[in-house]
Structure 1
Amino acid sequence: MKRLLLPLAIATTLLAGCQSTQTPEPDQLRGTGDLGLIIERATGSVLVVDHSEYEILDRVEGLGDLSHASVVYSRDARYGYVFGRDGGLTKVDLLTGTIDERVIQSGNSIGGAISQDGEYVAVSNYEPGGVNVFDSDTLETVAEIPATYVNEEGKQDQSKTVGLVDAPGNRFVFSLFEAGEIWTVDMLTTPPDVSRHDAGEEPYDALITPDGRYYIAGLFGEDGLSMMDLWNPGQGVQTILPDYGKGEQRLPVYKMPHLEGWAIADGNAFVPAVGRHEVLVADMADWSMVERIPVQGQPVFVMASPDNRQIWVSFAHPKNNVVQVIDSQTREIIRTLEPGKSVLHMEFTPRGEEVWVSSRDSDRITVYSTRTLEEVARLPARKPSGIFFTNRAHALGL
């Protein structure tokens, strides 16, 4: 009996010792569910923020050219992957406020996505074109997918790639601007299987519906949008909302609309019109035009609050100092807000009680209550642009 008890006592003591040395102090423990990253585009830095406390936790520097930067998150929401315009892909640790890994993967990139299983990070490139895929842990290259096509002169060329999103089945989907195509990449095959589909003229950005079924690319070269049913890819790509500007002269486009933050509410899709001072409303049952809502300028972001009751719209230069809020049921503008000079981005808190708005030329973030539409907080930031909260880790296409 003594032989049995002695080892048990020693094991218990050792286990207690291991627990006491490996458990962090209470003030060192925290989750990441109410954290996020804010891009400071002019200084190559990002802010780590706590949106529950309106607090800036860290500033991480050395991320290169962030003039058109975006962020996706690891499955555990600890790491943010920042896509820089200079081709930089940077893995930021939100808990330590440091750069975990960084690579320069191209000459000019325009966003990216993380796969459904969290294993791969893909980057969409302008120069030299194509999509590069990396291991999310190490940022080592997994695949290089050149966006080759035959140009008007009959020669093989490379296209800019845009509208890169993740899709169910561990797929990536993206569009080719010059080629007018939509490609899907299956990351469950080795090497990744690529499927090509003809689309409309000059797709410039794209979105995926929350259920992952439809991939929709906006078209710069013509009216309408190209839509692909990912459940039935054999049906090809169809055009929806064709001729929405038929017979009307297009206005100058100072900044391309962004479709990533698109809005779905009450069975309808709300999307910005290219070269129009309008938000288009489409019935998602048959993708027919329902309404054209006049707004004060050319929309850039058209975003729905998480409860889908409000549509928040930001605008391109020169009328980019305001945000307009639309009631999704009445489709009327209920408030025009002035968050500051040069509004660039908006982000709702996960349950939608507040929205954070960046104003580049006012060097600040303004936080509004979505219930009262009144300002509740301000945070200083250096030329802020994109705002990305960690709840994006668990949403498709973000």
Structure 2
Amino acid sequence: MKALLRLTLPLLMLAVLTGCQSVTSASADHLRGTGDLGLIIERATGSVLVIDHSEYEILGRVEGLGDLSHASVVYSRDARYGYVFGRDGGLTKVDLLTQRIVNRVIQSGNSIGGAISQDGRYVAVSNYEPGGVNIFDSRTLENVLTLPATYTNASGEQAQSKTVGLVDAPGNQFVFSLFEAGEIWTVDMVSQPPVVSRHPAGKQPYDALITPDGRYYIAGLFGEDGLSMMDLWAPEQGVRSILPDYGKGEQRLPVYKMPHLEGWAIADGHAFVPAVGRHEVLVATMDDWSMVQRIPVQGQPVFVMASPDNRQIWVSFAHPDNDVVQVIDAQTREIIRSLEPGKSVLHMEFTPRGEEVWVSSRDSDRITVYSTRTLEAVATLPARKPSGIFFTSRAHALGL
């Protein structure tokens, strides 16, 4: 009997271990991370594509997100959930793994973007109608704070301003600009209740960005030449003007589409800035923010984006020159290639380490993927009137 047990016990243990291994392997086949996933906005159909940028694969389509004619996305800290901001005031939480809507609220009449706080607890939405910012619990989408963007207009009356350039900042802050009021507001979400600070910002700030280190908030001004910059390390110093009067005395062209400052480039100690109403990319040294060069380009730039290694600057354009993307070498500051991804290029997104860039062409109904090494197309994907491309790597970056 003992001899029989000595023979059968190892066999039983082997069977158990093999069975456990089989179950584990079977389960692992259905598990995956989210680090190489992303969402692509299909603006005409109120839908988003869930994509895998490692395999150039469309994993699924999520529908029912409302008006996405001007839409953007931020991600939860674990990069599983995307928060989609729609033009109709919709805030939609999408699960990338199950490819479904988790929650959706209509929080205003017209919204243009949003941000997620440094700790991932809050999602803020920037609104045109009514002007202001609403802040939500990221888990439940329950409203936790409403900030009407009130100011006194030229007639001495109380009014509400459109809010633009909303970003997250270190210290669990949100920062945004007021278009009509000409102000920059900061919201400290650590303090309870949150503390709001107001700062004069110049005439008609139309968009803004935060530098990659989270120190400087810079707003573009539509009502005057130049930009306004706030040092978030020393907010008591207020807002100062940089690149003042860069177009003074020159004839402006009609502005077909406002440039997006969130996509402008910081590279090699310089800032590459889209010029409003001009066929130029402006270059400023970050030592003192003085302009050192103007780079002629083929049209009015909309996005001026640096590759993750800062070696290249990719530029897209407003109508009627929006079928071309130009690539600038950050060191020589010369155009090294003009590409034709398709009709009506709307957005570009670099893969996290910058080996490729994805480009949406709305009127060609496709996404084109380029190698940043060869500047050749390596893949195309079909999409319905695609616009914004947002990879989950944004979950771990400030201001995106």
Partner SS, residue 253 of structure 2: coil
CA distance, structure 2, for counterparts of residue 30 and residue 358 of structure 1: 26
Matched with 1:163 is 165
Q: Does 1:195 align with 2:197?
A: yes
Partner SS, residue 28 of structure 1: coil
Q: Does 1:364 align with 2:366?
A: yes
CA distance, structure 2, for counterparts of residue 28 and residue 156 of structure 1: 56
Partner SS, residue 134 of structure 2: strand
In the TM superposition, what is the alpha-carbon distance from 1:151 to its structure 2 partner? 0.3
CA distance, structure 2, for counterparts of residue 197 and residue 110 of structure 1: 22
CA distance, structure 2, for counterparts of residue 336 and residue 145 of structure 1: 44
Q: Does 1:259 align with 2:261?
A: yes
Q: Does 1:304 align with 2:302?
A: no
Which structure 1 segments of 5+ residues have no match?
Answer: 1-16
In the TM superposition, what is the alpha-carbon distance from 1:21 to its structure 2 partner? 8.4
Q: 1:126 aligns with which of 94, 107, 128?
A: 128
Matched with 2:63 is 61
In the TM superposition, what is the alpha-carbon distance from 1:249 to its structure 2 partner? 1.1
Encode CA deviations 1:166-186: one digit per residue, 9 max, x unaligned: 000000000000000000000
Matched with 2:211 is 209
Matched with 1:103 is 105
Q: 1:330 aligns with which of 318, 329, 332?
A: 332
Encode CA deviations 1:88-112: one digit per residue, 9 max, x unaligned: 0000000000001100000000100
- Sequence identity of aligned pairs in percent? 87
Partner SS, residue 112 of structure 1: strand
Matched with 2:179 is 177
Matched with 2:7 is none
Matched with 2:344 is 342
Q: Cα 1:141–1:20, aligned 2, differ >3 Å: closer, same or farther?
A: farther
In the TM superposition, what is the alpha-carbon distance from 1:20 to its structure 2 partner? 9.6
Q: How does 1:1-398 map to 2 (within 5 A)?
A: 25-398=27-400
Q: Which amino acid aligns with 1:340?
A: G
Encode CA deviations 1:250-288: one digit per residue, 9 max, x unaligned: 110110000111111110000101111100101001000
CA distance, structure 2, for counterparts of residue 329 and residue 288 of structure 1: 18
In the TM superposition, what is the alpha-carbon distance from 1:23 to its structure 2 partner? 9.0
Q: Which amino acid aligns with 1:219?
A: L
Find the structure with the greater CA-based Rg. Answer: 2
In the TM superposition, what is the alpha-carbon distance from 1:189 to its structure 2 partner? 1.3
Matched with 2:11 is none
Partner SS, residue 169 of structure 1: coil
CA distance, structure 2, for counterparts of residue 223 and residue 22 of structure 1: 62
In the TM superposition, what is the alpha-carbon distance from 1:24 to its structure 2 partner? 6.8
CA distance, structure 2, for counterparts of residue 132 and residue 20 of structure 1: 49
Q: Cα 1:147–1:21, aligned 2, differ >3 Å: closer, same or farther?
A: farther
CA distance, structure 2, for counterparts of residue 302 and residue 322 of structure 1: 13
CA distance, structure 2, for counterparts of residue 152 and residue 261 of structure 1: 33
In the TM superposition, what is the alpha-carbon distance from 1:22 to its structure 2 partner? 9.5
Q: Which amino acid aligns with 2:364?
A: S
Which structure 2 segments of 5+ residues have no match?
Answer: 1-18
Q: Which amino acid aligns with 1:211?
A: D
CA distance, structure 2, for counterparts of residue 144 and residue 18 of structure 1: 52
In the TM superposition, what is the alpha-carbon distance from 1:191 to its structure 2 partner? 1.7
Two-structure CA RMSD over aligned residues (Å) = 1.4
